[in-house]
Amino acid sequence: MSIVEAILNGLMVGGLYGLFGLGLALAFGIMRVVNIAHGEFIVLAAYLGVSLLTLTPLPLPLVVICVAMAAFALGWLLQATILNRVLGPNPIPGMVITMGLSIMLRNALVKIYGSNIRSIEVGALQDRGLSFFGMSIGVLPLLIFSAAIVLFVATNFLLTRTTIGRAFRAAADDFEILETLGFDRRKIYSAAMGLAVTLSALAGLLLAMRSSFSPFSGAERLLIAFEVVIIGGLGSLRGCFLGGLFLGVVQVVALRLNPNAGPLFGHLAFFVVLLVKQMNFSFRPAWRRA
Amino acid sequence: MSLLTVENLDVFYNDLQATFGVTLHVDEGETIAVIGANGAGKSTLLRAIIGLTPTGRGSIRFAGEDITHQRCNIVARRGIALVPEGRRLFHSLTVEENLLMGMARARPGPWTLPAVYDLFPAMRDLRHAPASDISGGQQQMVAIARALLTNPRLLLCDELSLGLAPKVINEIYACFADIRGSGISIVLVEQDTMRARNSSNRIYCLLKGRVTLERPAADVTLEEIKHAYFGDHGS
């Protein structure tokens, strides 16, 4: 039974992992930006959440909305003021810029918050659990998993049912033709980066409710995000979600079997997937319907 | 007054000059054809007009306004649309989603979703198919419809017949009567000289980036076209 329980718990973590991948996948899929600061955005949102909860009387739902809006503004500004200047076939300038940004953010967080471990307190919810068939599932992980599913469904709705979402996908396919139809590519990209950072920020808040974090947590999240996106196949929402579930299940089951393994087996599984795929994933992905 | 006036246009790709002092005009309601061999600068000319390729020297005026150095999306909103070479549909979108992209920033005008479905009835049954799954001829129809839905005053068509069967090409060219009927001016870039002559009011021929012929389509002779198309060596 304990393996089944581990798989269930793995799925719960996996939903969040999928969400880590989603922001990265959107930024890469739509404007070919490899956002190295992705992990730091996740952690930054977590710290922002902690600050708002401790310094202001705002309840958690309002804090989530505030952080999401701030994240959208940050993503928009980053794309509009900096990344839109380095558009082109060469991905290196964007990588260098976001890498520099990640270093600055990490150190700013250490300066402001110190390097102690933090987390978001969710009160009694923390310890509540559901028991069935002799297994127990935490209520909080289940809620976080549900939130991840809701965000994936909402993103899918946005991409397939709204003009701006279709413009995101069209820009990924052929931005020149999109311009000939009267769209300003730069504005589309700014909105897309706003969305990508918003999703990363929401993932960061969920992470902060589930586990503790420090200013140095970003690199590990970035790694998970990369693994999720590559396992799931670039440019597919469903692939991103399934990639997250796969990685989550492997990690939790492996931890159950060998409690000292840490994230080792997740990375090993990723390595195996790479070998199987023989690196022949498409590097110019289409943003397919999920 | 001319709807579009191009004067002494020089366009460069990096250090390579693609057009040399090209001058042409399109009157309101007129269809012109631009013919010429591969690499003559036809597609470059269209790209420069809509603003996808920056203009080096010269000027482009549209509907009385200077659009020489305008961004592509601004030019598009002013009323120029492009049916690009190779169709270039958004391949991860469905047929109808491609059309919706044409409508999203459209000017007011006669071309609506029902209107383009009436123009190409075959498209209505395919509207939920992925754009990558339909035949080349059907893709060309979607590309034309997508451009029409922006309700342009000037439609630039690049090599509509490229890679298509003659029967399909006839079907596609049949729609131009309706398009002209809605008051749209057209620039046809064509390799097929006969078809270009039959479907236009005037013909321009480009040779190595220069205009070598400008004639009313009704007056032009094969000998003239041959001379303009190949230069002195061809005759």
Residue A250 scores a pLDDT above 60: yes
Contact B104 A179 (CB under 8 A): no
Contact A182 B91 (CB under 8 A): no
This complex has an ipTM of 0.95
Q: Into how many domains does chain A fold? A: 1
Note whether residue A128 is domain-resident: no
Distance between CA atoms of residues B232 and B235, nearest Å: 6
Q: Does B92 touch chain A (CB under 8 A)?
A: yes
Residue A284 scores a pLDDT above 60: no
Q: Does A170 touch chain B (CB under 8 A)?
A: yes
Of A166, A173, A182, the CB nearest to B91: A173
Note whether residue A270 is domain-resident: yes
CB burial of residue A168 (10 Å; 0-12, 13-18, 19+): buried
Distance between CA atoms of residues A47 and A67, nearest Å: 10
Note whether residue A56 is domain-resident: yes
Note whether residue A129 is domain-resident: no
Which stretch of A133-142, B11-20, B209-218 has the lowest confidence by average pLDDT? A133-142
Give the mean pLDDT of B176-202.
Answer: 94
Residues of chain B neighbouring A181 (CB-CB closer than 8 A): 76, 81, 101-102, 104-105, 146-147, 150
Query: Which one of B14, B72, B113 would you mutate to disrupt binding with A, by most A Cβ within 10 Å of its Cβ?
Result: B72
Tens digit of pLDDT for each residue in A58-97? Answer: 999 999 999 999 999 999 999 999 999 999 889 999 999 9
Structure confidence at residue A281 as a pLDDT band (50, 70, 90): low
Instruction: Please give the model's pTM, rounded to 2 decimal places.
Output: 0.92
Q: Beta A129-132 vs A135-138: how paired, if at all? A: antiparallel
Of A169, A181, A287, the CB nearest to B102: A181
Note whether residue A127 is domain-resident: no
Q: Which residue has the higher pLDDT, B186 or A129?
A: B186
Tens digit of pLDDT for each residue in B143-176? Answer: 999 999 999 999 999 999 999 999 999 999 999 9
Note whether residue A162 is domain-resident: yes
Distance between CA atoms of residues A117 and A127, nearest Å: 20
Domain of A262: which CATH number?
A: 1.10.3470
Contact B104 A182 (CB under 8 A): yes
Q: Does A162 touch chain B (CB under 8 A)?
A: no
Distance between CA atoms of residues A56 and A53, nearest Å: 6
CA angle, B45 as apex, B44 and B49 as ends, to 5°?
115
* Residue A98 belongs to domain spanning: 3-120+135-288
Note whether residue A130 is domain-resident: no
Residue B235 scores a pLDDT above 50: no
Contact B90 A177 (CB under 8 A): yes
